[in-house]
Structure formats: C-alpha cells, structure tokens
Structure 1
Amino acid sequence: MLSNTIFNTIQKISFIKRTKFYNFCKEIIFPFIVTNISKLFKDDIDEKLIVMGAFGGGAFVDNSKYLFEFLNERSDYKLVWIAKLNHVAEVIRKKGYKVVSTYSLKAIKLLRSAKFIFMTHGHMDLLPIRFSPKTTKILTFHGTPIKRVDFNIKEAFMYNGWGDYFRLKLKNNQYIDYVLTHSGNKIEHDVLSKQLLISSKKILPLGYPRNDILLCKEKEFTEELKKKYNISEGIERIILYAPTFRSNLIVKFEISKQELNRLNKLLNELNSLFLIKGHMVSEKIDFNDQKSIKLLDKSADIQELLIISDLLITDYSSVQLDFLLTLKPVILFPYDYDEYYRTKGLNYDLEEIAGGPIVYTTEDLIDTIRNIDNIDYKFKEKRIMLRERFNKYVDDKSTERVLDFFNIKYRA
C-alpha cells in the first residue's frame, strides 16, 4: 500500500524522525486520525480472532512471536500479525502465517473485532485505535526494567497536554488490561508498576513465552540453531555480546585496533567465537580481518542466540535475567556507566543483580574472558539465587500458563 511505502521511506531518512514536527505528528496527529477512523468500525467481537504485534510493528520478535507461532501450530484460532515493514511481513508470510499491513483499514477492522490482542511495547506495535472494552489487551512486555523507562515515557508523551485535549487514550493504564512478567517478587512488581504507570493488579507473573525454549534440553535443536547461524562444529565456546538499546539507536563496540587483535588472538587460542548482537541497529564495524568475531544481523532472534551461547556479555539489558534460566556464565560490561546512569537512570544496583563479574574497560573484558573459568565459580550460587528471585517458574510452560489464564484453547 502507498501508506506503507511512505512509512518505509521515512524510516530511511533519519533526520526527519528527529524533528519536533515529526514527533508531534507521530504522537498526536496520527493517533487522533486513527482513533476517529476506528470509531467508524463496529466492535463486533470475533471470539476466535487473536491479533498480535511487536516492537512498534517493525519486527517479528519476543513474547508475541512465540505465542503466535505456538497458536498457529496448535490451535484453530484466527491469528493475524500486524506489521509495518515490508521485509517483516515477508518473513511471516514465508512461514505460512497471516499478516496484515499496519496502515490499512483492514488492520483497524481486525483490531476493533479481536477477542485478544497481544503486544510487546504498546499500542504502537499495532495502531493507536479506540480499542473495544470487550477486547482483552495484553502487554507481554520485553523484560524487567533494569534501566529506567520513565525518561522514554516523558519523551513519548511530550505532547501529553494535547493528548488529553483530543481525548486520546495513549497511556498504558488507559487501554492495557494485563501485563506479563516472569517474576513473582513484589519488589519487581512495584518497579514494573511504577515504570509503566499501571496498576500492580494488572501484573500477571506467568512467565515469558519467549523463555520456554531456553529450557529446551534437546541437543539436536541446539545443533540446528548453530547451523542456522553458520557456526562451525569445532567451536568450543560461543560468546555472545548483547548490549542494551541506546536512545541514539547506535550500539558502539569501542575497541582499539590493538585490543581487537588481542581479543581475536585470545579467541583463536580458546577456540571460541565472539558474536555481537546489536539491539536493533548496530554501528557498522569492519571485522573482516577477525575470523573469530562476527557481527550478527540485527534481525537475529536473541532467544535462539542465548540457547547456543556459553557465555553472555551485556550491560543494562534484561537479557541477563533471561539468561539466568540457563545458569551459564555472564559478564556485565557497562563501558558507559557514568553517562548512562546520568542520562537514563537505573532501577537496580548492577552489583546487586549481577550474575557475574562487572568490567568497565575493553582491556579488563578481554582479561575476564581469558580467566572466566577461574572467576565464575564465585558467582554460581548467586546466579541460582537471582534466578529464583526473577523467575517465579523455572520450566518451559510459560506459554501454556498464559493461554490457560485467558482460557485460550490449544492442542496438547
């Protein structure tokens, strides 16, 4: 459709997205138009219709993805994914699933008549329509907020006065019915409630569907994933570097040429592979001369990468809490801690929740990788404690628990 073509073109022109006019149109004008158009469609609920989306409509990822795939394989519901980007829609179609363009009247009609709607980040995963009160809206979310999200909320609703004036229901507590979490701890629930500005009564500690595969013990499945990511059979250790999302949309791997050579030499000695997974947008780094370092495509599924990885390196990302389910070693590398804490803020003390050593320089990171087997024994008991704190359930049944709670039928 023309609207999708226009959106995809704008996405490629980054300076437009930084203008106040663009933000005003995105946060106020567009929701105002869509909300009023959606009122023209009756909310005749189809009891068998479930609509899903993720990451602002720009990716097929996270909890929504795993629920979507599970139900497509094991239920008779009408399942539809809403996607903004053409290449995302193509990926879903190739799997044999139904996908509808975000910017279409069909998407609005489906959202108005769905029995259930699942999203990872909020209404912008789909469309900011006037949702029917007869539709159950579930925010599956994308992880315990180690970093503060209220800065993002403040920016997202910088025109909040206009939103109230136009009676737009843009805030989480105005349209979300439930929020998923993996923790049964009241402390974590309070953090989530405060950060999302939503009642703790709406929080469901059922687990994250995306984490079910982390507890898969089938060696064949792991080997298939390694082949998918072109990892040689002889590699003894896979190290995954998965830093958190940065507001400037750039993930930097700050390392000198000398340090890069040193890291690559160490990896060769250890017969290890170093994978770099940018959150969604990665700075272009030339690793052509470093055969043991690989920059992954931004669309790579982080859960699949966690399965095949023997060591995780991250910073403020909640991916470290997912990885706790495996009890495998982790290193925290918050190289920009002072700046990040000042501009973004954290809800947790990194020392308190770290399941492994914390390093702040590339030199220390390389030394820690070299000695991880000698260092990690100190953190094994702590990881077990943290796993219990942040995961109410340590099993592969989160998907079933979520569906059972909403009485969504599926085949065993």
Structure 2
Amino acid sequence: MHEKLAYAIKHYPWVQRLYRVVMSFLFQVWGMFTGFDDHLILFSAMSGDQYAGSPRVLFEAMKKDPRFSDYHYVWAFTHPEKQTVEGASVVKMDSAQYFKTALRAKIWITDVNIERGLNFKKKKTVYLNTWHGTGPKKGGNAVAGRKDYDFSRVDIFCCDGQYTHDIFIKWFNATDESMLWCGRPREDELMAFTESDRKKIRSELEIPEHVKAVLYMPTWREGQLQGLNYAAWEKKLGKDYCLLVRAHHFTKEGLLSEHSSEFVKDVSDYPDVNKLYLAADYLISDYSSAFFDYGLLAKPMICFAPDYDTYKQNYGLFMDLESEFPNGVFKNEDDVLNLIRNMNYKEESAKCGAYCAGYVTHKENATQKCLNRVLELVKK
C-alpha cells in the first residue's frame, strides 16, 4: 500500500496536492496536542535507508561535543529492526511513531527531508538539511510532474557553491536566509585523509599497492541498469587493474549478478563511500553527485553514459555534460577502456580537480559550522 501511494504521489499532481493539503492539516492538528521536547533530535539519512552521510557525521560529532550532552537522539530507518545505533533510539520511517517524534523534536537533521513532502514543522523546531550531493541531474520541482518540493521551512541548508545555491532557491523553494555556505559534513573527512589512510583502506579491500583501482558508481534510474562487459574489462586491463563496483541502493539487482572474478569487487554494501573514493585511482559514473565528492581529491573521472541522449530528454540535466565535463560523455565501453589505458594521469587529475572546483567553492569545516549554526538558532 505504501509503495502504491508513493507512486501515485510522484506521478499524479492532483494526488500530490490532495495528499499534502489533507495530511498536512491533520498533522498540524495532531501537533497541537503533542508535547515538545527541547532536548530531542531526530535524524534520517537517504530517506531512512542508511546510517550514513552527513547526518551520521553530525550525530557522531554531537556525541563528542559537550554542548550537546543534554540531548537525546532518535534515528529513523525504513527497517529499524536491522539497525543498532549506539547512543540513539530507532524508529520506523513514516510510521505514526516517526511523525510523533518529528512533532516533538527540537532539532531535525536529514540529507533528504523530514516532513516527507508535508507541512507540519513547528516554528520552534530547528531544521538542518545537509542535502545528499551536488550533481548534474535535475531534481526537486525541475523534474516533470513534481511540484511538491517546498524547503521554505528549512532553517539551515548546506550550500557548497553558487550552482547548488541557485538550484535550491529556484527548484526546491529554499530561502536565501537558510543557506549555510560550508559544503557538507560528510566531505570534511575527504579533506583530512592521509596517504597512510589510503594504504590501510586498500589493504582492507585487498587491493595490492601496484594495482590501479577503478571505482564504477552508476547512479539511480528507473528500470534495471545493465552491468558492464566485465570479462572484456578484465581482458583489456589485465592484472594491473581491479574494478570496484558500487551499485546505487535502489538499483543493486542485476549489476553484478552474472559475473564472478577477483578482478571485480562488489563494494555496494561497503559502509563508507569516502574510503572508496580514497582507495580508487579513477572514478567512472554517469549523472551522479559522486563526481563532486570524488572530484575534491583531484583524481581522474570519466563520465560513461550510454543512455545519455534518452536520459537527458526523459529525465533532464542541469548541466551539459557533453560540453562541460572533462573529455565529455563516453557512450562506448571500449572508448572508456582506451582512455584509462592511455591517459596522462597527472594531466587528467588536474583537469578533473579544476572542473570540480568550478562548482564546489565552499568545502571545509562543514561539521563545526553546522553545529555552531544549530546552537545559534536553538538559543534564539
């Protein structure tokens, strides 16, 4: 039933409007009769699918920060029975208990949304939205059929540059006053990694030091995503390379099911994507925000998107990747393999680092800036 409702809300504007008006009113009334806890913080990451990302970084920082010693924490998960978070309670995403917790909480922290498309935030609640990435694909109300994004009640919105600022204002209905120019907390770690960290992570992943690791991270799209011709990749790249495949959490099925080899490592469930970025020597993706995380490390990136033309037409992009992205868009696996084998690594690294820097202009100390801003608003 939940999946059918979610589909209807996404694809039928009149269902969106009816759902928002009716449910928002009901939750606002419910909120009038629900107590408020000045020391309760509600967290969610990736709509409840993960204990990860910027919300996790902020949560772990809060536990160590004496300024938050009087607070208690609740994490929302789609499957709370599978999650244990030290120092926090868990609640099922979109359940009655979830919405009751949201109505009672003084602070909301998420990288997608807390209100689930509704409008029931109390004025005294402080709402921090870190968002989950900077990327080329259209989002928010720019997506066909979506007119339900309204982040006008977000108090703090993490912003890493003018590109994301303009998109959030225009297509998510965020406010200029909410923008905190700081990047995202989960990216702070990327700035702090050392060479010894890289060697340790590669050792954990069983990647020999002489082997070049190619990280393949295709983004989500509707329908099943076809995997690469892994046998051809192994034949052409040989023993001096390995392929790390990280499927999007919505599209894991089928990407690796037909291949088994030491050359290919399935890292879809690896808990920390930042460590994968550090371990990798190259990133291959398509329309993913991974480009603007990995790009902070200034290493080669390749845009491989065989469905680029249809994706651009049917879903839409904010960027013209064919003209803007380093080396453009590759639609053939052989062309990607030729680039990897023949590239000047130093030149490609510099080119990709400069490309990322053109979009991400604020990228350091986001965690402390977020915590400081939250406490500033709490005191008000």
Compute the TM-score of the two structures, normalised by the length of structure 1. 0.77
Among 212, 215, 224, the residue aligned to 1:240: 215
The partner residue of 2:298 within 327, 331, 339 is 327
Q: Tell me the amino acid that sits aligned with residue 142 of structure 1.
A: H
Question: Is 2:144–2:315's contact at 8 Å kept on the other side of the alignment?
Answer: no
Match of 1:122 in 2: 113
- The number of residue pairs the alignment matches comes to 369
Q: What is the distance in 1 between the residues matched to 2:6 and 2:37?
A: 39
Please tell me whether the aligned partners of residues 215 and 245 of structure 2 are also in contact (alpha carbons under 8 angstroms).
yes
Aligned to 1:263: 233
Q: Which residue of 1 aligns with 2:189?
A: 213
1:224-279 C-alpha deviation (Å, 9 max, x unpaired): 54455x4244562211011122133x332253xxxx32311234332x22011112
- Superposed CA deviations along residues 149-173 of structure 1, whole A, max 9, x for unmatched, are 256754345xxxxxxxxxxxx5424
Cα distance in 2 for residues equivalent to 1:90 and 1:177? 31
- Counterpart check, 1:78 vs 2:78: no
**Once the two structures are superposed, what CA deviation does each residue of 1:273-316 show, in whole Å capped at 9, x if it has no partner?**
20111121223233544320123335643323212211111112
Q: Is residue 2:263 matched to residue 1:292?
A: yes
- Which whole-Å CA distance do the structure 1 matches of 2:115 and 2:11 have between them? 13
- One-letter code of the match for 1:264? E
1:178 positional shift: 3.1
1:140 aligns with 2:107: no
Contact 1:84 1:101 in 2 (8 A): yes
After superposition, the CA RMSD in angstroms is 3.2
Tell me the distance in 1 between the aligned counterparts of 2:10 and 2:305.
32
Q: Is the 8 A contact 1:332 1:358 kept in 2?
A: yes
Corresponding position: 1:253 with 2:244? no
Partner in structure 1 of residue 371 of structure 2: 403
- Residue pair 1:122, 1:172 contacting (<8 A) in 2 also: no
Identical pairs, percent: 21
Deviations 1:187-223 (A, max 9, x none): 4422332222333343222110111111223445444
TM alignment of 1:146-225, pairs within 5 A:
146-150=136-140, 153-157=143-147, 171-183=149-161, 185=162, 187-225=163-201
Q: Deviations over 1:360-384 (max 9, x none)?
A: 2011111112123x2x444444334
Q: For residues 37 and 360 of structure 2, what CA distance do their matches in structure 1 show?
A: 34
TM-score normalised by length of structure 2: 0.83
- Tell me which moved more, 283-292 or 110-119: 283-292
Alpha-carbon contact 2:141-2:172 (below 8 Å) kept: no
| Equivalent-residue separation in structure 2 for 1:219 and 1:380 (angstroms) | 17
Structure 1 Cα separation of the partners of residues 307 and 87 of structure 2: 43
- In structure 1, distance between residues paired with 2:140 and 2:130: 18
Deviations 1:71-94 (A, max 9, x none): 2343423221111223xx53343x
Within 1, Cα distance between the matches of 2:323 and 2:159?
20
The answer to whether the aligner puts 1:276 opposite 2:245 as a matched pair is yes
Q: 1:55 to 1:19 in 2, by over 3 A?
A: closer
Partner residue of 1:164? none
Identify the residue that residue 161 of structure 1 maps to in structure 2: none
- Quote the Cα distance in structure 1 between the aligned partners of 2:22 and 2:198: 47
What corresponds to 1:167 in structure 2? Answer: none
Matched, 1:91 2:69: no
Residues 240 and 274, structure 1, Cα contact 8 Å, conserved in 2 = yes
Contact 1:279/1:298 (<8 A) preserved: no
Task: Show the counterpart of 2:320.
Answer: 349
Change (3 A) 1:368 1:219: same
Q: Can you list the C-alpha shifts for 1:126-168, whole angstroms capped at 9, x where unaligned?
A: x8461101112222111224111256754345xxxxxxxxxxx
